[in-house]
Homo-oligomer: A and B are copies of this chain.
Amino acid sequence: MYTLHGMEGRARRGSFETVHGTVQMPAFMNVATAGAIKGGVSAQDLKELHCQVELCNTYHLHLRPGDDVVRAMGGLHKFIGWDGPILTDSGGFQVFSLAKLRKIEERGVSFQSHIDGKRIFMGPEESIRIQSNLGSTIAMAFDECIENPAEYDYTARSVDRTTRWLHRCKAELERLSALPDTLNPRQMLFGIGQGSTYEDLRIRHMQEIARLELDGYAIGGLAVGEPAEEMYRVIDAVEPHMPPDKPRYLMGVGTPVNILEAVHRGVDLFDCVMPSRNARHGTLFTWEGVRLLGNARYRTDPAPIDESCGCPVCRSYSRAYLRHLLKAKEILAYRLLVMHNLYFYNTLMERIRRELEQGTFGHFYKTMTPILDRRM
């Protein structure tokens, strides 16, 4: 259940109740694709990093260890040791980005596993069945994630199919949730609006899926290579058609500035591999901008990554030591740098919520957008 506590312009301060706890929004979900954050960060560490929601991936977990294994272990929460909310991505994006020899039909998609080449079929029912086995807090609908750029006619037909798939997802989740041995009988379902960069298709699709009265709505198929301004234009177009009493999730986004821009436009929920992936390359987010730790000028720098950061890494380690670990390709570098970046993202969201509560988000947004993208 989503509760809107206040707005500043279109930006929303809300909260979202789930069976695994309440999420304060706007929120950033920490991506644990195969049931673990890339970089040696555990579910226990995430608590210390102010994470509220973990995001795991249906496609990856279905392939390995298998959703049957996760179900046998009592579901994802028990398996990975996280008691807060977990959102599972439907696998749609991965089927369209990772898998090989894809064939799309009305029934679903057949493809080859990127791990062992095994032939696999996944349609709306399969995706929801896997997510039910995982027992996540929030399941995502199985959609076609269209490549960018896409033809108008193909996009229109694809969007209609994604709507039909959404009806099947909803029906399958209702069926499974009513079974006596289901892991999470109160599993939620979010629909995903597609439509590439065509505003009319985006609006039509969002209006159609809004009628299904799902638990939340996502904007999918953005941040796939188009310029940021185009993404903001699509959000501006589609946002007025998203139900105001449901959380709005912008999938796979983004930089700190992307997040500020999207919150400013009425988005509540985010996920992105950027904080963990960039950390592994020494690209660190700070309140002064982006610090490139590989830079030779940090060789004997005793300061922490960010002097105003309270994360476990900035409390203990110098830029010089972290730079050394990075250059030496020590796993400890990945762990510590990922921890810092996730803490930054999670506390950025805390700061955004506080600014919204105080009615100062507009000022914060204007002040910080030029700073957070700056490279140091």
> Which residues of A are at the interface with B, using a C-beta cutoff of 8 A?
34-42, 44, 60, 64-65, 69, 72-73, 79-81, 299-300, 302, 316-318, 320-321, 323-325, 327-328, 330-336
Q: Contact at A36–B69, with CB atoms within 8 Å?
A: no
Q: Which chain B residues border A300 with CB–CB below 8 Å?
A: 69, 72-73
A79 touching B318 by the CB < 8 A rule? Answer: yes
Query: Do the beta carbons of B40 and A334 come within 8 Å of each other?
Result: yes
- A331 to B321, Cβ gap below 8 A? no
Q: Which residues on the B side are within 8 Å of A330 (C-beta)?
A: 34, 36, 38, 40
Q: A318-B73, A318-B79, A320-B69 are in contact. Are A328 and B34 (CB under 8 A)?
A: yes
Could you say which residues of chain B place their CB within 8 Å of the CB of A36? 325, 328, 330-333
Hey, which chain B residues are within 8 Å of A302, CB to CB?
73
Residue from the list B65, B81, B323, B335 in contact with A40, Cβ < 8 A: B335
Q: Are A37 and B81 in contact (CB under 8 A)?
A: no
A299 touches B69 (CB 8 A): yes
* Residues of chain B contacted by A321 (CB below 8 angstroms): 35, 73, 79-81
CB contacts (< 8 Å) of A80 on chain B: these are 321
Contact B73 A320 (CB under 8 A): yes
A327 touches B79 (CB 8 A): no
CB distance from A79 to the nearest CB of B (A): 5
Q: How far is A300 from B333 in the complex, measured between Cα atoms in Å?
A: 31
Instruction: List the B side residues contacting A65 at CB < 8 Å.
Output: 299, 320, 323-324, 327-328
Q: A336 and B72 in contact (CB under 8 A), knowing A35-B321, A80-B321?
A: no
